[in-house]
Amino acid sequence: LAEGAMLLRGFAAERGAALLAAIEGIAVAAPFRRMITPGGFEMSVAMTNSGTAGWVTDRKGYRYARHDPDSGKPWPSLPAEFLELAEAAATEAGFPGFVPDACLVNRYEPGARLSLHQDRDEADYGHPIVSVSLGLPATFQFGGLKRSDPVKKVALRHGDVVVWGGAARLFHHGVLTLRDGEHPLTGHRRFNLTMRKAL
């Protein structure tokens, strides 16, 4: 896609059902919730986390937290299949030895979107981020280091994996409003996993 960004079409397709079952398990312990931005808006994307740390937002800001603020408990641990997939995809993209400690799980229903942003709450941008798309397709957009840089659009479908490292690690990116549809494994939903080294 760009220097440091590699799209691995269908890389996780055959593991889709197992990944979705693992997401269901995470959501039993740490239910999906729509978090509040520092500006006071409720996000349209519902989120949960697994790993040593989880990404959270509230009126106080964006950060990684070791505990789920809704329950006070640690986040569920990272499933082995997430770790294996992240390591394999990162290796394929030229980043061997990637060991994430956090996985943000995003759930989109029709109408949900994620506006253009950078992922910069992690301690060390030298590590890549591995993203996995499951269920309904979405139009993903990514630009450059400046918010005003021109954006490219790319369709992300069930099983697609993108590895973002190097120069692309701090690129602006977002997801356009999800259109309704029906997917055999997820119904009217799209899920996205982002595996990160947060701490």
CB of 22 to ligand MD3, least distance (A): 17
Rounded to a whole number of angstroms, the minimum distance from the CB of residue 84 to ligand MD3 is: 19
Nearer to ligand MD3, 29 or 154 (CB): 154
The 12-41 contact track toward ligand MD3, x by CB under 6 A, reads ------------------------------
| C-beta atoms surrounding 123 within 10 Å | 12
- Which of the ranges 15-23, 28-36, 85-93, 166-174 carries the binding residues for ligand MD3, by CB under 6 A? 166-174
Residue 86's binding partner out of Fe ion, ligand MD3, none, with CB under 5 to 8 Å set by partner kind: none
Q: Which does 57 bind (CB under 5 to 8 A by kind): Fe ion, ligand MD3, none?
A: none
Exposed, middle or buried: residue 173 (CB in 10 Å: 0-12, 13-18, 19+)? buried
Q: How far is the CB of 195 from Fe ion (least distance, A)?
A: 12
Q: Which of Fe ion, ligand MD3, none binds 48 (CB below 5-8 Å, type-dependent)? A: none
Asked whether the beta carbons of 140 and 154 are under 8 A apart, the reply is yes
Burial of 92 (0-12, 13-18, 19+ CB in 10 A): middle
3-state secondary structure of 18: helix
Q: Are 140 and 132 in contact (CB under 8 A)?
A: no
Encode burial over 13-41: b for 16+ CB neighbours within 10 A, e otherwise.
eebbeebbebbeebbeebeebebeeeeee
Please, which residue, 83 or 129, has the CB nearer to ligand MD3? 129
Least distance in angstroms from the C-beta of 80 to ligand MD3: 22
